[in-house]
Amino acid sequence: MTSFLAYEDKGVDTSRVPLVLVHGHPFDRSMWAPQTAEFSATRRVVVPDLRGYGASARTPAVTRFAQFAEDLEALLDDLKVEGFVLAGLSMGGQIAMDGYRRFGERVRGLVLADTFPAAETPEGVRTRNAMADRLLREGMRGYADEVLEKMVAPYAAPEVKAHVHRMMTAAPPEGAAAALRARAGRPDYRELLTRVTVPALVVVGDDDEYTPVSDARDMHAALPDSTLRVIEGAAHLPNLERPEEFNRAFAEFLARVDASS
């Protein structure tokens, strides 16, 4: 299968393990701009727009959550990226878990940021499907206005707020709605985490309301070999709100993976 995802492929192949970054909802690959700039100086960094987001194709829309990981695998096959660190934030973290389920033999390290592994509750399924209906009916602007100061903390820098709001309002409603419906039916990854055989890094903003620190602690406890880093002064997007602290934790983890590869 040939990939149709838009992507950035930056940096050079070196002795260091490549890095694959998976964005969350309803964002695009520019969500990872601070990390792409930082780590492409020393290793290959691949950053896709997920199906239905950014510059990637909007159709056919996803109907199964596993399609996100299948798309990612096709892209990495096309780019001949064999072993890599797989990192995802929020929905991207759940896609990273699904990617480990699908092609875990290629994953050298797993980074799960501001995410959680459990399947959706019945109430959560109703909420996501209702939001999908709303986005198709109203577009993205009202939703973006409402959730901005939960995605990032109210005290976040104005330029960070502007970037996050811009990504959300630019997201195609059709792609965002399809992703919400697919995400509502995703599997439970909690048992999978107990079988992860590679080093893992769990990161969370200390003011994250969507995926609180307690969720991160639970993942850290479930993973056989993991490090937990709580980023102070950040909400759901610590990689943008506190990029220096986030990158420092990320760099320490990458150095460990490089040393063991």
In the predicted structure, residue 243 carries a pLDDT above the cut 70: yes
Q: What is the pLDDT of residues 171-206, one digit of tens each?
A: 999 999 999 999 999 999 999 999 999 999 999 999
In the predicted structure, residue 116 carries a pLDDT above the cut 80: yes
Helix then strand then coil, % of the chain, to nearest 5: 50, 15, 35
59 by Cβ neighbours in 10 Å (0-12 / 13-18 / 19+) ranks as: exposed
Instruction: Give Cα 184 to chain centroid, integer Å.
Output: 16
Q: What is the pLDDT of residues 44-102, one digit of tens each?
A: 999 999 999 999 988 788 999 999 999 999 999 999 999 999 999 999 999 999 999 99
Decide: 230 and 113 in contact? Cβ < 8 Å.
no
β-strand pairing of 84-89 with 45-48: unpaired
Confidence of residue 138 (pLDDT cuts 50, 70, 90): very high
Q: What is the pLDDT of residues 22-39, one digit of tens each?
A: 999 999 999 999 999 999
The two three-digit tokens of residue 52, written as one number: 């239905």
Confidence of residue 162 (pLDDT cuts 50, 70, 90): very high
pLDDT of residue 2: 61
pLDDT cut 90: percent of the chain above it: 94
From edge to edge, which strands make up the β-sheet containing 7-10?
7-10, 45-48, 19-22, 84-89, 107-113, 200-205, 226-231
In the predicted structure, residue 169 carries a pLDDT above the cut 90: yes
Alpha-carbon gap, residue 202 to 216, rounded angstroms: 6
Confidence of residue 109 (pLDDT cuts 50, 70, 90): very high
Contacts of 260 (CB under 8 A, 6+ apart): 199
The CB-side HSE value for 128 (13 A sphere, CA atoms) comes to 21
The two three-digit tokens of residue 33, written as one number: 């701009």
Q: Which CATH number fits domain 7-260: 3.30.565.10, 3.40.50.1220, 3.40.50.1820, 3.40.50.300?
A: 3.40.50.1820
In the predicted structure, residue 3 carries a pLDDT above the cut 80: no
Q: What is the pTM of this model?
A: 0.97
